[in-house]
Amino acid sequence: MNLAAQDIRHNLGRFALTAVGIGLLLMIVLGMSGIYRGMIDDALVVVDRIGADFWVVQRGTRGPFAEISRLPANLEHRIAAVPGVARARNFVSHSVQREAQGRPLRMTVHGLAWPGDKGEWVNLVAGRPLAQAHYEFIADASLGLPLGERVPLGKDVFTVVGITRGMVSSGGDGLAFFTVADAQAIQFDESGEAVRLERAARLERGGDQDVGRTSPFLLQRGSGPASGIPALARPMVSAITVKLAEGADPGRVAATLAGWPDVSVHARADQEELLVRGMIDKARRQIGLFRVLLVIISTIIMALILYTLTLDKIHDIAMLKLMGARNGMIIGLILQQALLLGMLGFGIAWLLGGWVFPRFPRRVLITPADLWGLGLVVVFISVFSSLLGIWKAMRVEPNKVLS
């Protein structure tokens, strides 16, 4: 006869409720681990899949994801001429929030260097990559935009031609992939009145200069569209992605690019470090603190419940001692109950988590290492929480049964 099983049967309701409570706490611990891993995976998804060996950004910045970076678009031609570089492409990244289908639509816009990059590397679950230079984009499923949906952004209307899954930013916003030109048009969109005022201000500034007074034609041209003024550069890009040629020396290429006074160079590993240790570092530490607190709370709850169960059977323990039962049998009784409580809690956490986590607004990524780690934690807190009950049981005198 197993004494632990018999005792649980007599206190089944209390034991079951405790197991459910412990399971819910452990589910939150497991969920926080999954949220953290999901944040890391989301932050690195573009860096890992785009396949760039180097990211060239504005000098002194940590862009384009951890910080704003601005570079002239024609820089890609200068980088492409560096020995060892197989490909250099413009890249644009920024966030926008608009209204679509009567609800807020927040997305992180990524501009791809079409036609060299049509988004074939994106994990498409429906639709196709970009097929033309304008008015098409690929949207993540989390944005809730179906294929063929027409979304007004800036002064243009864009059509969803592809759906991807699991492509979100470190902030949880779904990614949308446009061509670089369209991404810049969305980013630098201005109202008609703002454009008119800028042209008027340009005309006034030009009239105050000698060249404006002596060359009216230049003044008229300067007050026209910005695209018609050769001195004004094209809109800036966020970064240049660099792919090395086969057999090229990465150190030599990086040294060449780093020697330029207007740019900074980050390798793929450096970009990952900037994202993990920079953008989500505080969230990582905060989640870790909550996990520790929940483990401590779970241990305290289990210890109190096991101590209460031990107090309820003080008379029975005294009777066992009076009958000559060894201390090991009594310790085993309490320890078995603690381990069974922990295992039931772990099972409840695993089953409930599998149902609840996919419904979270942020991706929860649970790995086998997380499950094994939580299992070891459960064994530890089960054994540790049983010590209070064991201590109380060992202090019971056999003659207690006679009082």
Domain boundaries, the chain: 3-42+281-402
Contacts of 377 (CB under 8 A, 6+ apart): 29, 295
Pairing of strands 85-100, 103-112: antiparallel
Residue with tokens 């927040």: 106
So what's the pLDDT on residue 159? 92
What b-and-e string marks burial along 318-329, b requiring 16 or more CB atoms within 10 Å of the CB? bebbeeeeeeee
pLDDT tens, position by position, 384-393: 777 777 777 7
At 169 the pLDDT is 81
DSSP 400: G
pLDDT band, very low/low/confident/very high, at 229 (cuts 50, 70, 90): low
Instruction: Choose the most confident range, by mean pLDDT, from 61-65, 75-79, 378-382.
Output: 75-79
Name, of 36-50, 141-155, 200-214, the range with top average pLDDT: 141-155
- Rounded CA-CA distance 308/131 in Å is 69
**Residue 160's pLDDT is what?**
93
Report phi then psi at 160, rounded to 5: -75, 115
Q: Which of 3-12, 110-119, 174-183, 284-293 has the lowest mean pLDDT?
A: 3-12
Contact present, 115 and 182 (Cβ < 8 Å): no
pLDDT grade for 211, boundaries at 50, 70 and 90? low
Locate tokens 């109950």: which residue?
A: 337
Residue 9, pLDDT > 80, answer no
For residues 355-379, average pLDDT: 84
Q: Where are the alpha helices (DSSP H) in 277-324?
A: 281-312, 314-322
Q: What is the pLDDT of residue 177?
A: 93
Higher pLDDT, 340 or 324: 340
* Phi, psi torsion values for 368, nearest 5 degrees: -55, -35
How many H helices and E strands in the chain? 13, 10
Q: For residues 47 and 263, is the Cβ–Cβ distance under 8 A? A: no
More reliable by pLDDT, 224 or 175: 175
Residue 88 buriedness (CB in 10 A; 0-12 / 13-18 / 19+): buried
Question: Given a cut of 60, is residue 2 above it in pLDDT?
Answer: no
pLDDT tens digits, one per residue of 245-264: 888 888 898 889 888 888 88
Segment among 169-178, 190-199, 340-349 with least mean pLDDT: 190-199
Q: According to DSSP H, which parts of 161-267 are helical?
A: 180-187, 192-207, 210-214, 216-222, 250-258
Instruction: Check residue 158 and give its pLDDT.
Output: 93
pTM (two decimals) = 0.74
Q: What percent of the chain has pLDDT over 70?
A: 80
The β-bridge partners of 158 are 151
Higher pLDDT, 305 or 198: 305
Mean pLDDT in residue range 342-362:
86
Strand spans (E) along 1-112: 54-58, 85-100, 103-112
1 — pLDDT class (breaks 50, 70, 90) = very low
* Contact by Cβ (8 Å): 147, 154: no
Which are the contacts of 102, defined by CB distance < 8 A and separation ≥ 6? Answer: none
